[in-house]
């Protein structure tokens, strides 16, 4: 059995106006073909106001496929994006196994930050 995690991260900082949400894929079984299909399906979701389009690219820092949402994307399309990704994964034979949350709070001299992570675990039998 192989696994992939889709992580949705929400980060807030009180020292500057930051309220970021992003998606990232984790695991060794993520292929360019998988990401290309997900990006193709995400592109079918119409933009609303200034939401733009969600698109996964490789993060140069850690090599994970990563996509960020601006404020309008979070406000108007976040659920559409999530459902589209879940549907695409299942159409490729990846079974949604479970979802879990994690939270982290940091208090530093430079300010406080709060990070919420929502992780979706998918598996596929070999």
Give dist(CA 115, CA 100) in Å, integer.
Answer: 14
Q: Are strands 111-124 and 65-69 parallel, antiparallel or unpaired?
A: unpaired
**pLDDT tens, residue by residue, 24-65:** 999 988 999 999 999 999 999 999 888 889 999 998 777 789
CB 76 within 8 A of CB 38: no
Dihedral angle sign, alpha carbons of residues 26, 31, 36, 38: negative
Q: What is the pLDDT of residue 11?
A: 77
Full-model pTM: 0.82
| pLDDT attached to residue 49 | 83
């Amino acid at each position: 059995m192989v696994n992939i995690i889709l992580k949705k991260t929400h980060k807030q900082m009180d020292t500057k106006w930051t309220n970021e949400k992003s998606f990232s894929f984790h695991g060794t079984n993520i292929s360019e073909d998988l990401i290309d299909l997900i990006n193709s399906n995400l592109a079918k979701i119409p933009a609303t106001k200034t939401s733009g389009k969600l698109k996964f690219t490789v993060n140069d820092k850690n090599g994970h496929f990563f996509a960020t949402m601006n404020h309008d994307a979070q406000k108007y399309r976040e659920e559409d994006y999530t459902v589209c990704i879940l549907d695409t994964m299942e159409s490729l034979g990846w079974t949604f196994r479970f979802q879990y949350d994690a939270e982290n709070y940091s208090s530093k001299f430079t300010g406080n930050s709060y990070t919420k992570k929502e992780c979706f675990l998918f598996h596929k039998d070999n």
